[in-house]
Structure 1
Amino acid sequence: MRSIDLTTVTWRKSSYSNQDGGACVEVADGFTAVVPVRDSKNPSGPALTFAVGGWSSFVSAVKDGELSA
């Protein structure tokens, strides 16, 4: 598995994140094959990377209400 350098990326908060500081997910754009994702409350913690197709399917499922808490 290849390591991805995320030290200089710009993170953006998901539009589905809670704006009062809770449940915040951030993603980094600019990668062709993966989407890095992290917890904004722990920016120095680990980031997960998802294949672009898998992330796209997940986002579509959230938008379509297919996932419930």
Structure 2
Amino acid sequence: MTIKWRKSSRSNTGNGACVELASLPGRVGIRDSKAPTAPALALTPDSFRALLHNAKAGHLDLP
């Protein structure tokens, strides 16, 4: 299985500091674009939705 990673069209930082996503069987893959060979996260769709919700709501912001 070939995994196709993609990053947001809004990721235009130019320094490679992006998060990439991949559609996996029953999971959403998440990895650091600067470290493509490092381990990646694989979340269930429900967990991924919860992560996005919490990020958008500011619950994951650093103080």
Q: Give the TM-score normalised by the residue count of structure 2.
A: 0.71
- Name the aligned partner's letter for residue 45 of structure 2: V
Aligned residue in 2 for 1:9: 3
Give aligned pairs, total: 62
**How far did 1:57 drift?**
0.4
Letter in 2 for 1:13: K
RMSD of aligned alpha carbons: 2.3
Q: Which residue among 21, 33, 56 is the counterpart of 1:63?
A: 56
Unaligned runs of 5+ in 1: none
Query: Which residue in the other structure is 1:37 paired with?
Result: 30
Contact map agreement 1:32 1:52 (CA 8 A) in 2: no
Gaps of 5+ in 2: none
TM, length-normalised to structure 1: 0.67
